[in-house]
A = this chain, B = another copy of it.
């Protein structure tokens, strides 16, 4: 399989830099005291369209040839990639056709509409998403920009870690949440190339632990309708991200739903930033595995901030 290289990701960063936020890396002495380690949070919740997804979507759209972009782009997504692709498509003045599960958070559906995405709703299963998307593509002739099973998208997601390298001292561990695996794949390739001694860890809700199962059994095992508050992580790995993760990631750890809510509250309270539940999953892992991280410098990607503020779980 043809994996992105560090050079591919560096080129992606050059290409998307004029269009994306260089998000801050923030720290909290109180959180560091609480967990006896040094935590550095990369605020992709403050990225345009509210999530790291805008990096990958923008890169994919900018890589389209003039011929390819004629009919627009299409994807399925539980929300953040949908909003990101809609906004990225508007950069080049082309339509974005979006298939969304009907149980996607309202705030994410509204964001897609605000950026001009054209929505088709479907049942909340991977099969339903994919078959509905196939129909949309047949009808419109749009180019598929898959949320993570896509070379250019993974290159874009890897750019957040390149920025981290310029924004903090050398970390011991880099941690990112894993849903479909796009962020974790891109991050792992960047991190392993930049810091030879880095440990790359995926963070996954126990209730949606297809990546953990796939990683342990060395076999791609999809998940069916997982029940987790981390709505961005309900998807399964693709063959592409699975293969990258198997080669570049050191471990994937699970966390409980309670820990996700606790971590989310800690992030709001101590970091003063708004995050969606998926963003809180890496800190949840630290809550439940304090010894593992003791005295370590840990870079954590806060993946997104698109949460319904009228319905916070804490």
Docked complex Cα distance between A305 and B272 (Å): 6
Cβ-defined contact, A46 with B30, below 8 A: no
Q: For residue A275, which residues in chain B have a CB less than 8 angstroms away from its CB? A: 272
Contact A314 B305 (CB under 8 A): no
Interface check A119, CB cutoff 8 A = no
Cα of A1 to Cα of B21 in the assembled complex, Å: 44
Complex alpha-carbon distance, A137 and B48, angstroms = 50
Task: Please tell me if the beta carbons of B312 and A46 are within 8 angstroms of each other in the complex.
Answer: no
Q: Answer yes or no: A269 CB below 8 A from chain B CBs.
A: yes
Q: Interface readout for A112-134 with B: 1 if CB under 8 Å, 0 if not?
A: 00100000000000000000000
**Taking the complex as formed, is A50 at the interface, i.e. its CB lies under 8 A from any CB of chain B?**
yes
Bound CA span A275–B27, Å: 17
Q: Does A250 contact B (CB under 8 A)?
A: no
What B residues does A314 contact at CB under 8 A?
Answer: 309-310
Known contacts A46-B26, A48-B29: A272-B274 contact under CB 8 Å: yes
Asked if A162 lies at the interface with its beta carbon under 8 angstroms from chain B, I say no
Contact of A30 among B30, B43, B114, B312 (CB under 8 A): B114
**Bound CA–CA A310/B313 (angstroms):** 10
Q: Which 6 pairs of residues, A with B, have the shortest CB-CB distance?
A: A272-B305, A24-B24, A272-B274, A45-B272, A46-B272, A268-B309
